[in-house]
Amino acid sequence: MKDTFLLDIDDTLLDFCRLEREQLLAVLRAFGERADDGIAARFHAINDALWKALERGEITRERLVVQRFETLKEAFGLRTRADALAVCFLDAMRSHAYLFDGAQAFLTELSRRGRLFAVTNGVSRVQRRHMEDTGILAYFEDVFISEEVGHQKPSPEYVSYVASHIPAFVPARTLYVGDSLTSDMVCAKRLGVDFILFRPDGAPAEWTGLCATDYDQILTFADGM
């Protein structure tokens, strides 16, 4: 039986991809820059690659938030300074958040079953604002944001911090749910806990473990553990 739940936030509970696209295009339009699906797709790829580099300890978060716009500026010949775009984008990201359909009911059900903990690499001031604005912060006993912890998920240091800050942590009674194989899956493995990949569009070809396409399926998997 599982009674401790570790949950990723972005693209597990919150629709980060939608938010990223909308706010990027809004910021670019505000500066009179090109704003279309092509540049949004390229930014997403750049941003995703840099966050994976952050997970590997190859870049700092402070450098990431500017470098993604430096790369975009070079690729599309943008006129606006990268640091100006970076500041405006972070401010814009704080002002909105989208909770996936069914996420609140899912959290309500999990809270009946045990304790909930958030595990995320997001920017602290953005992530906490999103959790407060969507009303999900109250469901969590604690929130482990890598920027506040001082180490990136899924580093051994981050994992050690999480394990040591969950009272009476028992791996066998813990379930981790997240959307990333490079971050969440690795973090779960290092914690020694069961993991469910959450992908509404289905599992990637290389994944052979449990994959849930909706929240009800997560609960069904958890019932069998």
For residues 213 and 51, the model is more confident at 213
Tokens of 49: 């690659």
pLDDT above 70 covers what percent of the chain? 100
Q: Give mean pLDDT, residues 12-41.
A: 95
Catalytic residues: 8
Furthest CA-CA distance within the chain: 56
Average the pLDDT over 187-208 and give the result: 94
DSSP-assigned letters across all residues of 154-174: TSHHHHHHHHHTSTT--GGGE
Instruction: Identify the CA nearest to 224 among candidates 210, 214, 213.
Output: 210
Which SS3 state, helix, strand or coil, does residue 141 take? coil
Judge whether residue 100 has pLDDT over 90: yes
Average pLDDT over residues 53-67: 90
pLDDT of residue 94: 87
Q: At what angle do helices 61-76 and 37-55 cross, to 10 degrees?
A: 150
- pLDDT, average across residues 213-218: 97
Residue 131, pLDDT > 90, answer yes
pTM comes to 0.90
Write down the pLDDT at residue 95.
Answer: 85
On the question of pLDDT at 61 being above 90, the answer is no
Instruction: Give residue 221's pLDDT.
Output: 97
**Distance from C-alpha of 200 to C-alpha of 216, rounded to nearest angstrom:** 12
The model's pLDDT over 103-123, given as tens digits with 9 standing for 90+, comes to: 999 999 999 999 999 999 878
Phi and psi, residue 59, nearest 5°: -155, 155
The rounded mean pLDDT for the chain is 95
* Res. 96: pLDDT tops 90: no
Block residue for tokens 């990333």: 180
Query: Distance between CA 79 and CA 198 in Å, rounded?
Result: 38
pLDDT band of 41, cuts 50, 70, 90: very high
What digits encode the pLDDT tens for the residues 136-186?
Answer: 999 999 999 999 999 989 999 999 999 999 999 999 999 999 999 999 999
Q: Which residues make beta-bridge pairs with 10?
A: 14
